[in-house]
A and B are shown apart, each in its own frame.
Chain A
C-alpha cells in the first residue's frame, strides 16, 4: 500500500459525501450508499486512525477505489482491521443502505498502476430479512423456492438493478435485457460476469437460481405481453412481404421464381427467397449503406475528394500509396479513373470487410476480430501488399483479405479509415474513439451515463479529475480503459506502439481494460485493440448493437429505448417489453447461428413488426405507436428503384441520356437533390432526414412529373415485348371509337393496365373492379377528355398534338437520331389523341404516391 500510500490520499480534498454519511460515524459501522463505501475508522500503522471513502466501481468489477483518507476521531469505534502484510482490510459490519442488509467483508488491495484499488476477498451476510446471522450469500442452489431466490436476487443484484429489476442509474433494466433471450445465455452471463468484477461470489448454483428467478419472475409477463401486443398486428401477405423485401434489400422487383417459391411454400418459401436475395451483389451495396450510416467512413470516398482516403495513409508507412501516378507529365487518360478506384478501395475497406464476413457466412464478430483487412488490386498496391490471389487484377471492386506486415489487425477497429474518421488528440487520448466503440459495437451511449453535471465540467484543480473527481470518473472509469486500449494507434491512425514512444502512454489515466477487467499485459502489449475486439465479440451487448443497426436499416428507426421517468405509461412499457423480447429472440437466433448476419436480417424481415400492415383493434393503438417498417426511401434507394422500374435513372430528357448515362454522378438523386432529399455526405452531413420537408415535397412532385414525361412516351416507343409499363394497351388504344362513343373493350384494357400500374409502381395488388382502379381510371378519362377538348380548341396547331419537347423520343440511349434510322422516322413526338399525355398523368399521379416514396 505504501507504493502510493495513504499519505498521497491524505492530500486529496475530502469529498462532500463525508458529511452525508457521518450519522454512522459513532457506531463504526461501514456503509455502502450512493455508490460509495464509507469506513468511519480503520487504524493504519504510521497513519493512525483514518476515515476512508471508497468509490464502488459497479460498471465492470465489484471494486473499491480509495477516494479519500482523513484522520478519524479517536472516539469513533473501529470499523475493522487493516492487515499490512496482505494489504487487506476486514470490515466488521458493512451495511448496504439500499436493501438494509449487512455483511462482514474483507477487501484486499489489487495490483494497479495508479490507483488504490481493492477487491472483495470474502463477504458474509450477518443480518438480512428472513435470514439468520452467518447465512452466507452463496450456494443457494437452483431448486430454491421463490422466496429464497428473491432473497438471493436482493443480495446479489438489487443494489445495481433495483429491487424490481427495472434498472437504476448504474445498471440497466433486466426486463427483456440483452442477456435475457434465453435461460442459457442469461446463466452464462451471470456465471461469468456477475456480480460485476466478482463472479466468484456467485457460483454455478447461485447463477442458475438467479437466471431462473430473472426469467420466471422478472420476465414472467414478457411472453404474455408479447402475445398480447403481437396479437393486434395484421400482417402483410407473403407476396407483398416478398416485394417489400426485394425492394429494400435489392431495389428490384421480385422475380417470377421468387413469387412461385413463396406461393408454393409460404413462410418457408419467403425465408428461402430472402436468403437467396442475400446472395446477390445488390444486397451488399445496401448493407454498406446501412453500416456506413453509422461508421461514416464514406467521408473518404472519392465523392468527397479524389484522394480523400489516399491522403490519410502515411507516406512513410506506405511509400507506394500513389503508385498510379507516373508524374504530372506522364499521366495517361486512365490516371483519374485509377486514382479514384484506388482511393475508393482504401476508403471502402471497413465496409468491404463487413460484406466479406456476411457474404462468406463468417461469424459477424469477425468484423472486429479479423486479423486482416480488405484490399482491391489497386489499394493493395498502395498498401505495398503483393501476393493476394485476385481473380481479376483490373477489377476495382474485387476485395480480398490481405495483411500488413507487422500490424496487429483487429478488423474495423484498426482500419485506417475508422481510426481517421474518429481521430484523437494528445488531450482527447482516444476517448472519442472509445465512445464510438461503445456506441457502435456495444449499444452503449457513454454520454448517457453522465446526466446533468452539477458543477463545472472542466476540473483543473483535482490532480487527476478523470480518476479522482467522481463527477468525471463516473463516465471516465468506463470510457478511459477502452481509450487506453487504442494507445498503440496514433492520432493519424498509424500503428505506433506506445512502449516505443518517449514517455510511453499516459500514467494519469485508467489502464487498458474493458468492462472493469484490466487487460492482461502478457501477449497483448502491442496488440491491445485485438484483445479488446475479442472481449467485445464475447459481450452480449455486441449482438444487441448489431441488431440495433440492422433494425434501423430495415425499418428506418432504431429499436425502442426503455421508457424512463415517472410519466412512462404502461403502453410505452409494454411496447418496449414486447419489441425488446422479440428482438432478443432474433438476437439469440443470430448468435446461435454462429453470428451469421443473414440470419438476423432474415428473421427481422419475418418478424411481425417488419411485416405489420395494420392494427386490428383500436385497443392496440397505444402500444403500436411506432410499429411498422415503412420509411421514407433514401435518395440512393429511390434512385435505384427508379432504375429498376423504368430501366433508366432520373437525369434529364431521355433524348439527352446518351450523353452521360455511363457516368457516375449524373443521376439527379445522386447529385442535384441528394442533400436536399435528406442524403448524407458522411462528412458534415451525417444524419438522414426521415420526414419530408417542403423542399422534399416539391422535389417529389417534380420527380413524378419529369419521370412520367420520360417514361410514358419511352415505353410506348419501345417494341411491345420490351415494355415495362404498358402491357395491355398501346398508344393507339383510345377509349373512344371514331364516332366518339365509348369503346368498352378499349376501356377494359385501359382498366387492366391501370390495375397493373398500381401493382408495378406501387406494389399494390388490387382487384380489377376495385375503387382505387376506378378512381385512377377516372383521372385518365378526365385528362383525356380535357385533352380532347384542348385538341379541338386548337385543331390544326402542330404544338397541340406534339408532346412536351422534354418528353420526346428522338435519340436513343446511344445517341442515334431516331428521325432517320436507315431512312425511317422512328421518333415519337406526337400525341394526336392525347392518349400518351393521359397516361403521363396517370403515371405522374402514381409516382407522387406514398406507396412509391416509402419503402
Chain B
C-alpha cells in the first residue's frame, strides 16, 4: 500500500477533488523543503527586541514605549535590538542563548526581521488565524498545512502541531506529539519490544502472518469504501486509509531521535528536525504561550523571550547538526503586538501592529524590512524597493503569506481554493 494504492483510493472516492495536492511529483521523492512555524502565543512585544524603541517619553504623555534605555539599543549587522534589559527586572542569564546579547550577534546574518505588519485585530483568535493563515476570516489553513499538502500529504507526520493555529482545512491531518519515547512503539506496531533488535523485538505475529493480517485489513477497508453510500462515512474511511499509508516510515524517525528528548520548545525542535531528516514531515508548528503580559510586562516578557529565543537557537543547532540549513525555513511570529505604552498594572495590552522573524532556506538574512513610527504605527513600504515609503503599502499578513506560499511551493489549485488577493512582494529572497 503506498503510492499506487493511495491514488486508487483517491480516484475511487472523489477525495482527490478536495485534495488538490496530488501531482505525481509529490510522490516521486521525499520532501526536500521544510518549514518550522514558531508561535509566540498571546501576542508578543516586538518593541522589546526586534523593533526597539527604548524609554524615550511619548509626546502624547502616555509614557515611554519601553522601560529599557534608548542608549541600550544596538545592532548586529543590520538587526537592531536592545543589548540590555530594563534595570528593575531580573534579566536572563548572561550565558543563555536566548539573551539578546547572545542571540542576535549569533543569528543576525541569517535573520530577516519584518516590522510594521498590521494584523488589523486585537483579538487572539483572529490574530493567530491571520498571522499563520494569511486570512483573518475563518476556515483558512495554516501555511504549514498548505505546504504539507502541497509536498507530501501522505507522510504520517506531514504537519506536526505542538499547538498554535493548526487549522488544516482537512488538507492534511495535524499530528500531535506526545512523549518522544512512544515513537518506538508506533514505528513497530507488531513488536512487543520495539526497542530491541531483530528477533528480540518479540513480534506479536511472525512477519509473513502479519503481512496477511495487514492485507486483510486493507482489503476490508476497500470493501467498506466501495459499499459506503454516506459521503461522510466514505470520507472517514478514506482518512483512515491515508492515516495508515505511511505507517512503515515511522521507524525512520525513531532512528534519528535523540536518546533523551528535551522538554519544552527544545524538545519540539528535536522531534521536528528528526522528522524532517527522516523525510516524513514537511512542516512543524512549535508553540509556547505566556506572551499575553497584561501585567508585569517587562519581567514576564523578558522570561518568555529568553525561552523563545533559546528554543530557536536550539532549533537552529538541530538543523545545522542534520545538515538541513539549506532546506528548512523558520518563521517566528505571534498573534499581534502589544501597546506602545504601559497600563496601570505595568502591563501592556493588545496592539494590532506586530513583527515577524524568518531565517533559513529561502530567506536572505541580515535585513530589516518595514518599520513603525515612535508610536508603533506601521510605516508603509515601497513594494519593490522594500524601503519605507509614505506612498507605499502597509504590510499585512496577506503580503507575508503570498510570499510564503510562493516559497513553500503551494500548488496553484490550493492557492486558488484559499485565495489571497494581495499581490506578491518579494519579502524573503
Contacts and interface: CB of A to CB of B under 8 A. Distances in A.
Interface of A: 234, 425-428, 447-448, 450, 452-453, 455-458, 612-616, 621, 624-628, 630-632, 672-676, 678, 684-685, 689, 691-702, 705-706, 708-709, 772, 775-776, 779, 782-783, 786-787, 790, 804-807, 837, 840-841, 844-845, 848-851, 853-854
B260 interface: no
B379 to A, nearest CB: 13
Given A426-B345, A786-B209, A844 B204 contact: yes
B178 interface: yes
A527 B122 CA distance: 30
A378 to B, nearest CB: 31
Interface string B214-236: 00110111011000111111001
B127 to A, nearest CB: 9
B186 A702 contact: yes
B250 A698 contact: yes
B176 A678 contact: yes
A691 B235 CA distance: 10
Given A427-B294, A693-B156, A806 B125 contact: no
Given A428-B294, A453-B120, 6 more contacts: A234-B229, A456-B120, A694-B156, A694-B175, A698-B187, A840-B204
A242 B158 CA distance: 39
B173 A615 contact: no
Closest A-B pairs by Cβ, 7 of them: A694-B156, A697-B243, A693-B173, A702-B189, A692-B243, A614-B229, A701-B189
Interface string B271-283: 0000000001000
B177 interface: yes
From A452, A458, A694, name the one whose CB has the most chain B CB atoms within 10 angstroms: A694
Interface stretch (B47-55, B93-101, B311-319, B347-355): B347-355
Nearest to A834: B209
Contacts of A455: 120
A849 B190 CA distance: 16
Interface residues of B, number: 82
A453 B228 CA distance: 44
Contact of A612 (B172, B178, B230, B236): B230
A426 B231 contact: no
From A458, A627, A709, name the one whose CB has the most chain B CB atoms within 10 angstroms: A458
Contacts of A787: 209
A792 B319 CA distance: 52
Nearest to B216: A779
A709 B182 contact: no
Nearest to A778: B216
A705 B120 contact: no
B341 to A, nearest CB: 9
B230 A705 contact: no
Interface string B129-144: 0000000111000000
B300 interface: no
A730 B216 CA distance: 24
Given A457-B122, A840-B204, A630 B212 contact: no
A694 B208 contact: no
A844 B230 contact: no
A706 B118 CA distance: 52
Contacts of A456: 118, 120, 352, 377
Contacts of B125: 447
Contacts of A841: 205, 209, 212-213
B374 interface: no
A427 B187 CA distance: 49
Contacts of A676: 175-178, 182, 186
Contacts of A624: 230-232
A706 B190 CA distance: 8
Contact of A426 (B202, B280, B344): B344
A775 B216 contact: yes
B294 A694 contact: no
Contacts of B347: 425, 427
A804 B217 contact: no
B109 to A, nearest CB: 34
Interface string B181-198: 010011101101000000
B295 interface: yes
A488 B52 CA distance: 39
B190 A625 contact: no
B247 A849 contact: no
Given A426-B343, A458-B351, A458-B352, A698 B189 contact: yes
B11 interface: no
A679 to B, nearest CB: 9
A708 B192 CA distance: 12
A457 B121 contact: yes
A705 B190 CA distance: 6
15 contacts: A425-B294, A447-B125, A614-B229, A628-B232, A672-B178, A684-B163, A689-B173, A693-B175, A694-B244, A695-B156, A698-B250, A699-B186, A701-B244, A783-B213, A854-B236
A621 B339 CA distance: 51
B401 to A, nearest CB: 15
Interface in B270-302: 280, 289, 294-295
Contacts of B205: 705, 837, 840-841, 844
Contact of B173 (A631, A691, A779, A854): A691
A695 B245 CA distance: 11
